[in-house]
Structure 1
Amino acid sequence: MNSAVSLAETDPQTVTSPATALPVVAVPGVEAWHVESHVVPMIALSFTFEGGAAQDPEGKAGCAQMLARLLDEGAGDLTSDAFQERLAARAIELSFHAGPDAVGGSLKMLLKHADEAIDLLALALAKPRLDPDAIERVRAQVIAGLRYQQNDPGVMASRRFFKEAYAGHPYARPSSGTIESVAAITRDDLVAMHARIVGRGRIKVAAVGAIGAEALAEALTRAFGALPEAGALKAVPRTEIQALGQRIVVDLDVPQSVIRFGMAGVPWRDPDFIPAYVLNHILGGGAFTSRLFQEVREKRGLAYSVGTSMVSHRAAAMIWGYTATKNERVGEALSVIGDEIGRLIAEGPSDEELQKAKDYLTGSYALGFDTSTKIAHQLVQIAFEDLGMDYIARRNAMVEAVTQADIRRAAARTFADGKMLIVAAGRPVGL
């Protein structure tokens, strides 16, 4: 997402009060949330359509991402160059992206250029040209990037990790595809993907900035009202991380191995997500304060960076981690990581450690709402996960309420017996 001019409302009570996020009734099949602020004459929109790379046709991974890259490569009677010139002439920032479960985008413009920006967005969504020359240009760019990534140990480790973790499932496929799968994508595949995903019925929108509810309803009608109903999506079955306890090497002739490791997770909508989130912060999500940072980097100098994060998809969840170290120290680094997970399973965090984690997570939350674009992105993500409009108001209280019993329950669900799926790209020693 592009950065945005600050709304100048950095007080979390101002930007995250549930009274400032209001529903807007505009188009059937479009759920819209609205935060009005006239501090600066700008508007930021974030939107998402259900259905992403998990909907890619068999053998054609990368289709959703190619579609997202092509939506602003010409639309209606505007060629790619003409469309981009219209955006540039008014400093309109429009971008699209695709993930495993959604195709989305963002739009940012000055208030005086809002009409033209909305018209261009509507054209890109409803009438993308998908011209053959644009398709081939984007295909060549994607394939060039994929060729380059074949020598990137981080990318290769991540790809192999998800291939093993979700074997046989759509999440096992790389969202950007492979050289072979991207080469196989046809214009008909892109047209069919567009018809299936980009339509009314599964749209979430957040709008932030200098626009009132009535004007926004009109703008949303113009942006999304011409879209047909979205097509049927393929069912994506629920799955869990596989191959726990396995250690896999991707052989690359590099002096340092890049490591990916993972365990079971908790999805965002689950009541145990917040306790698992706090637990993850203590283990590896807390940057300089986490156990892994202190033990792996600070005390032993085994790696420059190490950490963990929560991964929550529609049909799967995991805690996954990353680090990189010299080939000859891989075994030692993984031993330290395993020991810290074992300590948390056996002993849990100290009361002081738990309180510090909660203090940080509640105190830093408002930093995600310091620009109009960040607010729009946060709101549309909350809407996409069906967490409720009052989630922002409830979130810190839920973090503060986490107890040692909650942490133990989350640890039992995620860490279980301590077994991890581990993938190392390089020539590791002691794996």
Structure 2
Amino acid sequence: MAATVEELKIKDINIPIVFEEDKRLPLVTMQFIFQNSGSIADTTKAGLAKFSAKIMNEGTKELGSSAFAEKLESRAIHISASTGRETFVIELGCLKEEFDEGLKYFELLLKDPNLTQEAVQKVKTTTLGNLARKENDFDYVASNELKALLFEGSVLANPSSGTIDSVKSIDLNDVQEFLDKNLVSSKLIVAVGGDVDIKELKDKISKIIASMPKGEASSVKKYEVSKEVKEKIVKKETQQAYIYFGSPYNISVNSEDYYKARVATFILGAGGFGSRLMEEIRVKKGLAYSAYARLQVSKSSSYMSGYLQTKLESLEDAKATVKKIVADFVKEGVTEEELEQTKKFLLGSEPLRVETMSQRLHRTFMEFYNGQELGNSLKELEKIKKLKLDDLNEFIKFHKEILDMSFAIVTKR
């Protein structure tokens, strides 16, 4: 059955339900997705959204973490909370026969999360330990430094996990206020897939949603990437240089030309072997084991980013090579062979991207979330199939903003 978008009206709010029926296995997956409630909502303290999700994974106040987990495990029910940049997600997964029981615990968690000093201290201790270990993860360090350059002065400049100082400052009241503001029905989208009847589902979840606070909806703010070319060098005890680079990319999630950006970026650096970056940096010059560039487009931002590791003594050569590759790419465009090979890969690998129900459900959700019509992904593939070389090269040459690259580099002291 094709995915659909239904609606459920509660408290004068139309709650969207992205639904994909799949009766091949007796399984059900349900997500409560709260918009504009991920790390983009960390306006007071960096890492608060992710910290709050970890608190939601500590069970209920009445049962506590261990007892709540045991109740779920005895029935093979999975409930977890997580965050993305723009969303806060609580997910339920179980056998069809356990769905009612799963909903019971799902509702208990929403009504009575384990908001205790003990839970906060436990999450704080584990989070600080993880952050301390990441100080020696130089990919993590360079990636965060790049975001700080590209989005200087905005919430997107902060690490989604927070910093040691910001996490230390988070207290019980911060988490309570975050959950009260963000886990509300006015921000809710429901995504459900599996062996479940949509009418029965609506009846069951309407009671849960009706008991939630209404709250206030808010739209996702768009953050512009800094147009100023910057460089940040961080000195660490390392045997390799870690080079992360990024630049503006003036395109939106629902742009008519998004498919062209997808093809162009694949040829430049997202396609692994055969991409420009990999061919020049690894195959021809032997400067790195791998090199990538990716398109990062969402409601809140749009930019290109990439990375590679190289020998300490090859740092300047590698950086100059990246700049030259991108400059030549914008100036000269791509070849007919590169375009045809990319078409074959993107069209040929499509079945792998939608082989599971969760993949199809996620795709449908993203289409709805981004304001696109359902089935947009398939139409995009048709556009890729018909894409002509001259049209692609015209698009590439128009987007000269990707030449304005900033670099975040971790190298030896």
Shift of 1:398: 2.8
> What is the aligned counterpart of 1:77 among 49, 62, 82?
62
Please name the residue that 1:253 is paired with.
237
What's the secondary structure of 2:223's corresponding residue? coil
What's the secondary structure of 1:288's corresponding residue? coil
> What is the aligned counterpart of 1:411 among 386, 396, 402?
396
Superposed, which structure 2 residues align to 1:323-402 within 5 Å? Answer: 323-402=308-387
Code of the residue aligned with 1:247 in structure 2: it is E
Please name the residue that 2:178 is paired with.
193
Shift of 1:27: 4.4
Q: Does 1:67 align with 2:52?
A: yes
Shift of 1:237: 4.6
Shift of 1:423: 0.9
What's the secondary structure of 2:303's corresponding residue? strand
Taking only the aligned residue pairs, the percentage that are identical comes to: 25
Please name the residue that 2:263 is paired with.
278
Q: Distance in 2 between matches of 1:299 and 1:94?
A: 48
> What is the aligned counterpart of 1:87 among 53, 72, 81?
72
Shift of 1:354: 1.3
Please name the residue that 1:143 is paired with.
128
What's the secondary structure of 1:320's corresponding residue? strand
TM-score, normalised relative to structure 2: 0.92
Q: Does 1:216 align with 2:201?
A: yes
> What is the aligned counterpart of 1:308 among 279, 293, 299?
293
Shift of 1:20: 0.8
**Alignment CA distance shift 1:215-1:156 (3 Å):** same
Shift of 1:365: 2.4
Q: Distance in 1 between matches of 2:391 and 2:215?
A: 40
> What is the aligned counterpart of 1:174 among 142, 146, 159?
159
131-140 or 104-113: bigger deviation: 104-113
Shift of 1:271: 2.2
Code of the residue aligned with 2:375 in structure 1: it is D
Code of the residue aligned with 2:40 in structure 1: it is A
Code of the residue aligned with 1:119 in structure 2: it is K
Q: Distance in 2 between matches of 1:112 and 1:53?
A: 35
Q: Does the 8 Å CA contact 1:95/1:106 hold for their aligned counterparts? A: yes
Question: Structure 1: where are the runs of 5+ without partners?
Answer: 1-18
241-250 or 193-202: bigger deviation: 241-250
Code of the residue aligned with 2:181 in structure 1: it is R
Please name the residue that 2:224 is paired with.
240
Code of the residue aligned with 1:262 in structure 2: it is G
Q: Does the 8 Å CA contact 1:196/1:232 hold for their aligned counterparts? A: no
Shift of 1:100: 2.2
Question: Structure 2: where are the runs of 5+ without partners?
Answer: none
Q: Does the 8 Å CA contact 1:24/1:217 hold for their aligned counterparts? A: no
**Alignment CA distance shift 1:388-1:78 (3 Å):** farther
Q: Does the 8 Å CA contact 1:119/1:222 hold for their aligned counterparts? A: no
Q: Indicate the structure whose relative CO is greater, using CA pairs within 8 Å and at least 6 residues apart.
A: 1
Please name the residue that 1:9 is paired with.
none
Shift of 1:75: 2.2
Please name the residue that 2:106 is paired with.
121
Shift of 1:222: 4.1
Q: Does the 8 Å CA contact 1:199/1:230 hold for their aligned counterparts? A: yes
Q: What whole-Å deviation, never above 9, does each CA across 1:57-95 have from its counterpart, x for those lacking one?
A: 43x111111111111312263221121111211112222
What's the secondary structure of 1:370's corresponding residue? coil
Q: Distance in 1 between matches of 2:281 and 2:204?
A: 52
Q: Distance in 2 between matches of 1:289 and 1:220?
A: 48
Q: What whole-Å deviation, never above 9, does each CA across 1:95-153 have from its counterpart, x for those lacking one?
A: 22112211113322111111111222222233313121111100111111111111211
Please name the residue that 2:87 is paired with.
102
Q: Does the 8 Å CA contact 1:87/1:93 hold for their aligned counterparts? A: yes
Q: Distance in 2 between matches of 1:62 and 1:247?
A: 25
Shift of 1:414: 4.1
**Alignment CA distance shift 1:131-1:275 (3 Å):** same
Q: What whole-Å deviation, never above 9, does each CA across 1:384-426 have from its counterpart, x for those lacking one?
A: 2222223233231232243335434543454437231111111
Q: Does the 8 Å CA contact 1:264/1:414 hold for their aligned counterparts? A: no
Q: Does the 8 Å CA contact 1:307/1:322 hold for their aligned counterparts? A: yes
Aligned length: 408
Shift of 1:272: 2.4
Q: Distance in 2 between matches of 1:101 and 1:329?
A: 37
Q: What whole-Å deviation, never above 9, does each CA across 1:202-257 have from its counterpart, x for those lacking one?
A: 22222221112212222332443321213354x76533222643332111121101
Q: Does the 8 Å CA contact 1:61/1:178 hold for their aligned counterparts? A: yes
What's the secondary structure of 1:167's corresponding residue? coil
Code of the residue aligned with 1:259 in structure 2: it is I
Q: Distance in 1 between matches of 2:123 and 2:338?
A: 49
136-145 or 310-319: bigger deviation: 310-319
Please name the residue that 1:55 is paired with.
41
Q: Distance in 2 between matches of 1:223 and 1:119?
A: 9
Q: Does the 8 Å CA contact 1:118/1:222 hold for their aligned counterparts? A: no
